[in-house]
Structure 1
Amino acid sequence: MRIDKYLWCVRYYKTRNMVTEACKKNHVTVNGQLAKPSKEVFPTDKITFRKDQITQIITVLDIPDNRVSAKLVDMYRKNETPAEVYEHLELLKLSKEHYRKNGTGRPTKKDRRDIDEFGNSPNPTLPEGEGDES
């Protein structure tokens, strides 16, 4: 089976076109060699690919006839990606949400006033009156 079809069948990519693009950008290797979308994969092949800032490592256990349900994916591949990689991804997600939560939209008037007040608060290390610019 072709590598693009295999990665699509085991639900790592949503479309075969996405797999093809990943192959063209040299994000997919089979047994340590760069893979074109038409590269054939066989059981026991080790596939390494980069997706969503994670380098995934999987071993082909069997070849599916066509796209399989999410429950049956483990019959066709063995995920060998280290756990530290997933922990690193969680840290990246948390660092992006450091200032504001996703989906909160633009700051409200109250948020803006709080931000302005925080920025205009007097510096406690300076003596009284030296930090004011009035």
Structure 2
Amino acid sequence: MAEPLGRVRVDAWTWAVRLFPTRSAAAAACRAGHVRVNGERAKPATQVVPGDEVLVRGGERERLVVVQRMLVKRVSAEVAQASYLDRSPAPVPRERVAVAAARDRGAGRPTKRDRREIDRLRGR
């Protein structure tokens, strides 16, 4: 396990602690503005140190983690979880998520009436 003493790039650190599947995905998320360090928008080369708050937006939820240990190499899930303190908000329960308008397979195209009902359900 490589553990440098100084600073680490945010894209390398978020990949190493398994917040992203690849380092290029972590860098792309930084460039797109989905990663913040201490409330500031982070570029891939932004340096993080222990105590920094890293906010990652992506997928269905938002992750807020506090850096505990510096890592540059990908490690096991247990070591990765020990490297940060997770302060993420609780995920939305599945019962509360609105069900999208689902049609039976092979039912054909929706009629005008069906489209109006779908739009009404979506709040349009």
Which residue among 95, 99, 104 is the counterpart of 2:102?
A: 99
Unmatched 5+ stretches in structure 1: 113-118, 120-134
| Alignment partner, residue 60 of structure 1 | 67
Return the alpha-carbon distance in structure 1 between the equivalents of residues 68 and 85 of structure 2. 7
CA 1:71/1:29 → structure 2, altered by over 3 Å: closer, same or farther? same
TM-score (norm 2): 0.71
Query: What's the offset of the Cα at 1:73?
Result: 1.6
Return the alpha-carbon distance in structure 2 between the equivalents of residues 3 and 43 of structure 1. 12
Q: How many residues align?
A: 104
Q: Which has the higher contact order (CA 8 A, sep 6+)?
A: 2
| Alignment partner, residue 25 of structure 1 | 32
Larger Cα-atom Rg: 1
Unmatched 5+ stretches in structure 2: 1-7, 108-113, 115-124
- Residue correspondence of structure 1 range 55-134 to structure 2 within 5 A: 55-83=62-90, 86-87=91-92, 90-91=94-95, 95-96=99-100, 99=102, 106-107=105-106, 112=107
Q: From the two aligned structures, give the one with the greater strand fraction.
A: 2
% identical aligned pairs: 30
Return the alpha-carbon distance in structure 2 between the equivalents of residues 2 and 92 of structure 1. 37
Query: What's the offset of the Cα at 1:106?
Result: 3.3
More displaced 10-residue stretch of structure 1: 41-50 or 58-67: 58-67
Q: From the two aligned structures, give the one with the greater helix fraction.
A: 1
